[in-house]
Amino acid sequence: MTEFRPKARRPRGFADRRGATLARERAIVEKVLGVYEAWGFERLETSAFEYADALGKFLPDQDRPNEGVFALTDDDDQWMALRYDLTAPLARFVAENYDALPKPYRRCAAGPVWRNEKPGPGRFREFWQCDADSVGAPSPAADAEMIAMACAALEAAGASNTVIKISSRGLLDGILTQAGVTDASQRMAALRAVDKVDRLSWAGVEQLLGAGRMDESGDYTVGAKLSDEAIRAVMGLLIFATSTDVVAGSRKKFLETVWESGGAENLSSVHAELSTISETLDALGVDDRKARFDISVVRGLEYYTGAVFEAELLGETKDENGNLVRFGSVGGGGRYDDLVSRFKGQPIPATGFSVGVSRLAAALTAQEEARAADGPVVVLPFDASAMGACMALAAELRGAFARASVRRAAEVYLGGSGPKAQLKYADKRGSPVAVIVGGDEVRDNTVSIKNLRLGAEIAANAEDREAWNKARENVQVTVPRAEMAATVLKMLAP
């Protein structure tokens, strides 16, 4: 009988994270929480599981308890689910401890969340978030504080090139009302369609406002099924309000331009809300470059009721196939005045912001990798007798890096394989430079230094083999041992 051997495979939508990734995520969490605490927010931890009815059905999937979430039944036949964010558990905690808490209650938290959704590039079923929330704060000034604090938190985490895009659910709700869309399910489907504009473009949004859309994998998403007249009305204002001339100007210009356009003239309360947010941001020193209005911001969760905001990491890089990749959203939040009210039966306003820790860590890593390989300089003993010399060279490199204030590691290959495998090892480690010591180098008191970063660039850009052969003459050099550190530092220079 054949012994059963399980296949080693990772579930789709989940990731294994190694040392450098874990260290970056931990650093982001502590830096972000440090900013939250400096602004007066108290740390809170809630359990990973909540009763499904307490979490509420605010994700897109509505049919059964384990659609959109990972759920199971307790021994008393009650549905429990892994939390899909950190906000719904907060609402339960506040309702359960309402009389003992100060109002507003200002809390911050960090931890993993889980969503039973279709995974894709950059979309995981398990990821970390880092939140701050004010429960019992009705003023739009509380929303502005969240936005300003988000700017400070992202700056502290190393994401200085971000912009916070701001809108209001009330604005799009009002536009839908003016277009004659009154059905609640149609309105929610329309909001979720607009929320996908960064990924699908306005053409894709228009399809989802109508009958629906089929993606590249063949999956079909049923649309909001708005009338042609309603689609024209909604798309007309959306495209106008997101045009370069409108969003590139100041927040004040945006408010004047959109309301003067005639598409939102009856939404005076939303205008007052956004005006207060903008004025408070001015007082907090957050200018138009760091926070601007953008009507395409919706946020996919159903519980938002007013202002919504999203942090976009600017810039782009290339993936392993050479395709340009935009980083997009690394956090977001908004006002959710009805979430705690579900438990208490009385109005309890609230607002919050969440940093997507896992996504931000991946984006920052990608940005660094786009600038330079992040791995160590590896010293390769092509001849077994060179091991002692290689250890001395690695120590010399670490000293040279420290004196030059270069944040780079140096290590010796300690496996038992030959030259070809050693170079593959250096490649897998992301090494920008490899120092090679074989029999000839030991005899001549020299080292061979290979610029792996330059070699990869030449291989990617060379038009033919002749061009590659000519260019690669600069990839590897042999120098006296005394010149090794200086040569490596020169290769590492930007």
* Residue 286 half-sphere exposure toward CB, CA atoms < 13 A: 26
Q: Where are the beta strands (DSSP E) in 95-243?
A: 105-114, 126-135, 162-168, 212-214, 220-222
Compute the distance between CA of residue 211 and CA of residue 138 in angstroms, rounded to an integer: 38
pLDDT at 370: 52
CB atoms under 10 Å from CB of 356, counted, come to 22
CATH 3.40.50.800 fits domain 374-492: yes
pLDDT at 15: 86
pLDDT at 188: 82
Compute the distance between CA of residue 111 and CA of residue 34 in angstroms, rounded to an integer: 15
CB atoms under 10 Å from CB of 385, counted, come to 11
Compute the distance between CA of residue 472 and CA of residue 493 in angstroms, rounded to an integer: 18
Q: What does the CA dihedral 52, 58, 63, 66 come to, rounded to 10 degrees?
A: -40
For helices 268-283 and 140-156, the axis angle rounded to 10 degrees is 40
pLDDT along the chain (494 residues), means of 10: 87 85 90 97 95 76 61 88 93 95 96 87 85 96 97 93 90 81 83 78 85 81 85 78 63 80 68 94 93 84 88 69 66 93 91 93 73 76 92 95 90 92 90 93 93 79 58 81 94 84
Domain ranges of the chain: 19-369, 374-492
Q: Is the peptide bond before 480 cis (omega within 30 degrees of 0)?
A: no
**Same fold for the pair 19-369 and 374-492:** no
pTM exceeds 0.95: no
pLDDT at 61: 46
Fold of 19-369: BirA Bifunctional Protein; domain 2 (3.30.930)
What Rg, from alpha-carbon coordinates, does the chain have?
27
* Residue of 269, 465, 491 lying closest to 372 (CA atoms): 491
Which element (helix H / strand E) includes 378?
strand 377-381
- Token digits of residue 489: 């530092």
* Residue of 448, 402, 403, 441 lying closest to 426 (CA atoms): 448
Inter-residue contact 415 to 390 (CB < 8 Å): no
N-to-C CA span, the chain: 60
